[in-house]
Structure 1
Amino acid sequence: MLTLIILIAALIVQFLTTFLAEQPPVLLLLLGLIYFACFLRQASGKPNPLVFLILVVSVMIPLLTILNIDLGSSILTVFVKSIAAGAIVTWLAYALIPDIETVEAARPSTSSTPKPVWRAAADALILLLAVTLCLTQDRLATAVVIPITVASLLSQLDVEANGRPALATVLVNILGGVAAMLGFAVLELRHSLATLFLLVLLAGLVFGGRAATPTVVAKINAGALTVFLLVLGSAVSPLSSGAAETFATRVGYIALAIVYTLFFATLLWPSKGTAGRIRDR
């Protein structure tokens, strides 16, 4: 079911991109509406991994289809196959290693975001600006990591979190990028499929293991794993020539995306005080 929903969403986005490629304002408006709907769902206090996957599809497909229509179709095929393969491997893993019955810790409460429509509109605008920048700047034509990192951070950051929680989110995401750099260095020394498998497995155990726990930092570690896979994946299969230079550049893109997201989130998100005054009225 998950694979089918993602496939339908991806086909719709690809059709819109191909049909409206000569009408950028209309295309960007429709993409903005898709982003708004996804972020509004997240702001409702009912997180769903499917929403983030739709966001990723809605970012990747337009960028790569505009760059090269065949590339967009290839990425769509790879993406859908990966989701299907991931679901199958997950089922097999649970069948081979059944879940041990343990006392589950209390999950943190998920309350809706103050002024969810405002928050969703702000998030959609922030992401749409990042996508527009990549679509209009030739140097950023293959910088898919920028809007995907922006989408990941917007999904992780809490509008009421400041100080330590926000700093922890940034640091863990940077840690994901640093881990990918170290992993790429190891892969250069021991270039083999087995080495790549072990690196991804290790990252899955470190970041993914924490992301699976019922704690408040689970979402942050899931974002760090996303950054790790994006950076390492861009190094292993670069979209342009010059793997080492491309890899170093895309690590910089991660840092740029983090700074960009924090700046505009601080500028556009509804403040806790404002929300409180509105509720009091």
Structure 2
Amino acid sequence: MKILITGATGFVGTRLSEKLLNEGHELHILSRNTSHLPPVFNHPNVKAFSWQDTSTPPPVESISGINGVINLMGENIAAKRWSDEQKKKLHSSRVESTIQLTSVINQNRSTPLDFFISSSAVGIYPVNTNEALTEDSKLANNFLASLCKDWEAAAHTLKNCKRTVIVRTAVVLEAHGGALAKMLPPFKLGLGGPIGTGDHVMSWIHLDDLVDLYVKAAADDRYSGIYNGSTSHPVDNFHFTKALGDALHRPTLIPVPAAALKIAFGEMSSVILDSQAVVSKRLPEAGFTFQYPTIEAAFAKMFDKK
């Protein structure tokens, strides 16, 4: 297939692009800086198109001949404190950019796309509840939930498409990037520990499983609608911390006060401190199998634990 990917140079996008290229697909990528792309994109099956201002439409040429789109674009949600300016960036990098992309497709495609796969997040669901949250659960009304609702609504402005897939992604784990890479330095020094009481639950997915999900959703026309990109085994912070320490052969005895994170990160600390057990009801129904369903299996893969 020929697939357009936004956010291709990010943490998830780079690994996904590598897998798609290895499977023989052609990629169109949209990037702010096409002259400094990661090595994986130095490939005969890659065409890069400059899209520096995502408040304006991307080049029409980028959608020429494509079978579908995987839309991963978005400012890092945990990159910095959520000032009013940062919230606008988080919104515009997801919502306005998606609307610009769908508008170009709607106006310039004579035949419908086979698929449009767009990322969202489990932040759309309520936090600090005791229930397991599935694709059928009610939605929340906080900042993250509103952001995700607008993001998903933007994806649905695409009319010229056979099927739209929304992946509500949990925390993506891999040692070389994302949230885990930021946690590793103190843990490797034996200075890691549970946050607060350690009883808040984190929903998560290994990067390889998320990439497999995107690939399957692109290739299999049975995938349509909303899926939670989260394993069936959410884990509380105490369990997560102990499993990470065991995998690294380091103690995890130094607790991190929750109050300190609230002071340091403000409202954004909710990403770290809120409890949320999200699972997918629809992925098993679609026949999707996780390579790394448990946190122990995920850490074993990352750190070669025998």
TM-score, normalisation: structure 1: 0.31
More strand by share: 2
TM-score where L is the length of structure 2: 0.29
Q: Which has the higher helix share?
A: 1
The structure whose RCO (Cα within 8 Å, separation 6+) is larger is 1
